[in-house]
Amino acid sequence: MNKISKKKSERIAVDAVTAEANKPTSLLAANIPVGDKGISFDGDIEVFNDDSESVGSLLGKVPVQVKGKQVKEFTNGTRTYSMGLDHLKNYYDSQGVILFVVEIKEKGGY
């Protein structure tokens, strides 16, 4: 299996999360820059109560962390991912985070 670079893995993972948020029936808007990341958070996802995406329809923002992981086969069932205690403390102090672990196959698919 050819190793995908960390930067490419990050781009693929962010693109996958953004693509899901951009589906026509989604009431989400992903704000996740590639490369320019915060200390424990990669960005956020805005949540709306209708598809107008207007100021009045914004319910709030959810902080996110996105990780890309190259795999031979997709995981069935529960997926684990190791994180540092300092990151977990930051998530707790910020009232949570959504952690996306995007599995990436070498020959395509995530």
Cβ atoms of residues 101 and 14 within 8 Å: no
CA distance 66 to 102: 7
Cβ atoms of residues 79 and 110 within 8 Å: no
Identity (one letter) of the amino acid at 23? Answer: K
Q: What is the pLDDT of residues 28-61, one digit of tens each?
A: 999 999 876 678 899 999 999 999 999 999 999 9
Domain boundaries, the chain: 6-105
Number of other CB atoms surrounding residue 95 within 10 Å? 8
Share above pLDDT 70 across residues of the chain, in percent, rounded to a whole number: 97
Q: What is the pLDDT of residues 18-31, one digit of tens each?
A: 999 999 999 999 99
